[in-house]
Amino acid sequence: MRELRRTRVGCFTEREAVTLQDLKDAYTLYRDYGVEDLLRTYVKPVEYMVRHLPRSGLGTRQSMLYAMAPRWQFQALLS
C-alpha cells in the first residue's frame, strides 16, 4: 500500500473538503472586507452535519424538556 486516503467521513465527502489555507483566506476576506459568501460556502450550519439522520417526532416543548431532563425521566415527561 502506497497511500491511504480518507474519501468520506460521515456525511461529508472529499468533494466538500477545503484546505486550511482556503478557509483562512475566506476568513481574512470576511474580516478585512466584510465579504462572507466564500466563508459561508466553507462553514456549514450544524444541521448540515445531521441531514442524513431521520427527524425526531418531538415538538419544541418536548425536545426542550428532553434536553434538560435526565434520560430516565424522559418517559414520565411525555406522559
Q: Is the pLDDT of residue 66 over 80?
A: no
Query: DSSP assignment of 19-76, as one string?
Result: -HHHHHHHHHHHHHH---HHHHHHS--HHHHTTTSPPP---HHHHHHHHHS-GGGHHH
Res. 25 pLDDT band, cuts 50 70 90: very high
Res. 31 pLDDT band, cuts 50 70 90: very high
pLDDT above 70 as % of the chain: 85
Higher pLDDT, 62 or 4: 4
